[in-house]
Amino acid sequence: MAELTDALFGYENLLQRLFSEGGRLASAVVAAQSHENLSPVAGHQILSAISNAQLSVSGAIGYMAEGHRQLEVMAQKLGIDPEAFGDVIKRPAAREATPIGLAA
């Protein structure tokens, strides 16, 4: 189970970092437009592409939230603490299921 929870939370952490980097990229594009004194219309295609990519990442984050709910149901059926997989704040008893990087 620890390997499953480590992989689950690791994947979600990766998606969150990816979403954050997309926001940083969008900000950099706008800053570059301003620095070059370009019209907001110039380069709008790249902002559109970044926005579409961000929507995809956001959708993936949503799918993972649904995955949590499915794991909670499975855990309940197997008699495993469902909060170890839930998308809620974990009780102290379930924290050992959290990867070390997220527990700190």
Name the residue ranges covered by the structural domains of the chain.
Answer: 2-103
Q: How far is CA 15 from CA 12, 20, 33, 53, 74, in A?
A: 5, 9, 27, 12, 23
Interval 5-33: pLDDT, tens: 788 888 989 999 999 999 999 999 999 88
Interval 40-95: pLDDT, tens: 788 889 999 999 999 999 999 999 988 888 888 887 788 777 666 665 555 444 45
The pLDDT score that the predictor gives to residue 47 is 92
The pLDDT score that the predictor gives to residue 87 is 59
Give the pLDDT band (50/70/90) at residue 100.
Answer: very low
Q: Per the confidence metrics, is the pTM higher than 0.75? A: no
